[in-house]
Amino acid sequence: MGNSAISVKALKIELSKIKDNALLVGFFKDRLILNAELKGLDRKFGGIIDSCIKDNSFKGERGELKGIYTDKSIKNIVLVGLGEEDKYSLEALSAIIADSSKRLRDNGTESFSIFIDSFKNSKFQDKELVEKITLSILTGLYKFIEYKTKDKDKIKYIKQATLITGSGNDFEKEIKYASVVAEAVNKTRDLINTPPNVATPEYVAQYAKELASKTGLKCIVFDENQIKKMKMGCFIGVAGGSALKPRLVVLEYYGTDKKQKPVAIVGKGITFDSGGLNLKPYPYILNMKDDKGGAVASIHIIEACARLKLPVNLIVITPLCENMPSGTSYRPDDVLTAYNGMTVEIKNTDAEGRMVLCDALAYAAEKKPQAVIDIATLTGASLVVLGYVGTPYVCTNEGLRKKINNSSAKSLEKLWEMPLWQEYEESLKSDVADVKHIGDEGEAGVITAAMFLKYFVGEIPWAHIDIGTTVWSKVDKGMLTKGATGATVRLMIEMLREWK
Ligand code: BES
Ligand code: ZN
Ligand code: ZN
């Protein structure tokens, strides 16, 4: 993993006694003053902080960084601008900490300390602060270097981040929690970033199996023959075009009374989506290794829940296959029979995600879970509705909707609900089969895809999260690093942490 070497720890120590390469101190633009502790520190370093404020070379603008080189016990005192206090939030904090960590790393710093009291605000609690700071450092510093062979010794790393705490708390629990979440996010990124010639359905299934045995999860991997016998006709149809055989992975975690119904998570696992016979043209065919993002996130969500011993029962179901063009591919106009017996008319082989999910969702529903949540890189249309900023979702149940919105706010992963108005069903009417899998004009793409999936979950409370756009980042900014983002991992763990 790109940053497995970093460790975050908390330390109760007077500021003037710190020995480190750098110390981050936060300042609000409208409160550029030194408290008693900072005054003590400043005195030790000859008043350099105070003079930076007085001569206006540091203004406290949001995201501003002013490094003061001392070559003493703290080699660099870094003043960090937090902007105006009333506009400050945990989101602003997370972005600032992640960007500062990246800057320090890229400048060759190997360790740094953070004076966390200076990043505080009356709006949030110390525990949240520590959790978010830890998470921002660990996810912000992520890099994917697995396939680099040259100049590996020149790659810069941060090895240690120390949270300097003034209060009596040791924050061990919060740091541990955030570290497990960050590891789940970063391992999700690693596996999604792994190229499609390596991360095949078999590879991902084997990966899940190994992770399950390390974590004590129950894991069953179904092979092609078993999937055929189970009559998952849609999944088998999609997988048919590839020389690689499909796998269905089922993982189970019991964190509470076994009699309590589980929450089911279904993840789309297309290890490469070429579009099939409706082949994607260049450049749309690029990055289609990220089409396994839902499955990979699901696997790491259940792993993290088990490591954190969250009091909830979970079942994860991930259909894994490739979508490829060949003489054995499924075709437009084919009619496939799903696991629940419904017949589906194919119109575009590139709308394969809903075809593997419909079987997996029907299978999940059969387990009578208390709720089903699917995570899928389902549509390019997700870019149209919310851009790169947020993730569209749909939901059929008020309680589940509240949970999602609440954990979205807490995890800082932005989600927005789309409606499931009945009119959208019209476009899925088929002349020959029970349903068509897409509408004729591609209108309301996120919703019609969801409308199709809805046929397979029955009455069970259900949410569908479309990470088609947010699975991938084009920028290195804040907690994002170019490549896979680990979308939904923070959200889902937050939701399951408080599941009732
Ligand atoms: N995996 C894609 C969705 C996707 C496209 C995600 C681009 C991220 C970026 C999915 O299988 C797909 O191709 N969907 C089609 C559906 C269409 C044919 C109805 C789409 O969204 O274009
Ligand atoms: Zn597709
Ligand atoms: Zn796809």
The count of structural domains within the chain is 2
Mean pLDDT of 397-402: 98
Ligand 2 midpoint to CA 178 (Å): 34
Residue in 350, 388, 428, 471 to alter for ligand 1 test, most ligand atoms within 8 A of Cβ = 350
Nearest one of 494, 296, 314 to 408, comparing CA atoms? 494
Q: Which residues are catalytic?
A: 280, 354
Same domain, 164 and 189: no
Closest ligand to Cα 379: 1
Element (H, E) at 51: helix 48-54
318 contacts 411 by C-beta, under 8 angstroms? no
Is residue 114 located within the same domain as residue 204? no
87 and 229 together in one domain = no
pLDDT tens column, 107-151: 999 999 999 999 999 999 999 999 999 999 999 999 999 999 999
Q: What is the dihedral of CA 170, 176, 179, 183, to 10 degrees?
A: 170
CATH number of the domain within which 323 lies: 3.40.630.10
Measured between alpha carbons, how far is 209 from 24 in angstroms, rounded to an integer? 42
- Same-domain pairing of 335 and 360: yes
Paired with 427 in beta bridges are none
Average pLDDT over residues 234-247: 98
Q: Is residue 59 part of a domain?
A: yes
Residue 430, in any domain of the structure: yes
From the CA of 387, how far away is ligand 3's center (Å)?
Answer: 18
Question: Of 185, 204, 432, 439, nearest to 333 (Cα)?
Answer: 432
Distance of CA 25 to the CA centre of its chain: 29
Residue 266 counted as domain residue = yes
Shared domain check, 441 and 371 = yes
When computed from its CA atoms, the radius of gyration of the chain, rounded to whole angstroms, is 25
Which of 359, 373, 192 has the alpha carbon at shortest distance from 292?
192
The answer on 38 and 17 residing in a single domain is yes
- Mean pLDDT, residues 380-400: 98
Same structural domain, 148 and 186: no
Pair 415, 390: CB distance under 8 Å: yes
Q: State pLDDT tens for residues 428-448.
A: 999 999 999 999 999 999 999
Query: CA 23, 410, 462, 275 torsion: positive or negative?
Result: negative
What is the distance between the alpha carbons of residues 225 and 450, in angstroms, rounded to a whole number? 29
Distance 381 CA to ligand 1 centre (A): 7
Statement to judge: residues 121 and 217 lie in one domain: no
Q: Where are the beta strands (DSSP E) in 231-268?
A: 247-254, 263-267
Q: Among all ligands shown, which has an atom nearest to the Cα of 284?
A: 1
Decide if pLDDT at 3 tops 60: no
Torsion on CA atoms 345, 351, 354, 357, rounded to nearest 10:
110
Both tokens of 341, joined, read 């017996």
Q: Please, which residues bridge with residue 317 across strands?
A: 250, 266
What is the distance in A from the centroid of ligand 2 to the CA of 443? 16
Are 138 and 254 part of one and the same domain?
Answer: no
d(CA 163, CA 171): 10
| Strand 111-115 to 160-165 pairing | parallel
3-class SS string, 102-129? HHHHHCCCCEEEEEHHHHCCCCCCHHHH
Burial class (CB in 10 A: 0-12, 13-18, 19+), 464: buried
Q: Which of 170, 191, 217 is the last residue of a domain?
A: 170
Nearest to 253 by CA among 425, 499, 24: 499
Q: Is residue 2 part of a domain?
A: no
Put simply, whether the predicted model's pTM sits higher than 0.95 gets the answer yes
For ligand 1, atom 13, which residue shows the shortest CA distance?
350
In a domain, 175, yes or no: no
Q: Based on the fold, state whether residues 237 and 156 are members of the same structural domain.
A: no
Domain boundary pick from 135, 170, 205: 170
Per-residue pLDDT, averaged over 64-78, amounts to 96
Residues 6+ away with beta carbon under 8 Å from 135:
94, 178, 181, 182, 479, 490
Region 459-471: mean pLDDT is: 98
The percent of the chain in helix, strand and coil, each rounded to the nearest 5, is 40, 20, 40
Whose Cα sits closest to atom 6 in ligand 1?
468
- Ligand 1 atom with least separation from CA of 291: 1
Average pLDDT over residues 367-391: 98
Which residues have CB atoms below 5 A from the ion given as ligand 2?
Answer: 273, 350, 352
What is the rounded average pLDDT for all residues in the chain? 97
In ligand 1, the atom with minimum distance to the C-alpha of 280 is 13
Structural domain ending residue among the three candidates 170, 201, 230: 170
Closest-lying ligand 1 atom to the alpha carbon of residue 270: 1
Provide the CATH number for the domain around residue 99. 3.40.220.10
Confidence at 4, pLDDT banded by 50, 70, 90: low
Ligand 1 geometric centre to CA of 280 (Å): 9
Q: What per-residue confidence (pLDDT) applies to 168?
A: 65
Structural domain boundaries enclosing 239: 181-497
- Distance CA(202)–CA(198), nearest Å, equals 10
Cα end-to-end span (Å), the chain = 34
Neighbours of 67 (CB within 10 A): 17
Instruction: Give residue 153's pLDDT.
Output: 87
Ligand 1 pocket, CB under 6 A: 273, 291, 348, 350-353, 377-381, 438, 442, 445, 468
Q: Looking at the domain assignment, is residue 241 inside a domain? A: yes
Do 312 and 455 reside in the same domain of the chain?
yes
Q: Within this chain, do residues 163 and 200 fall inside the same structural domain, yes or no?
A: no
Cα maximum dimension of the chain:
83
Amino acid symbol at 403: K
Token pair recorded at residue 197: 């010639």
Q: State pLDDT tens for residues 79-111.
A: 999 999 999 999 999 999 999 999 999 999 999
**Ligand found nearest the CA of 324:** 2
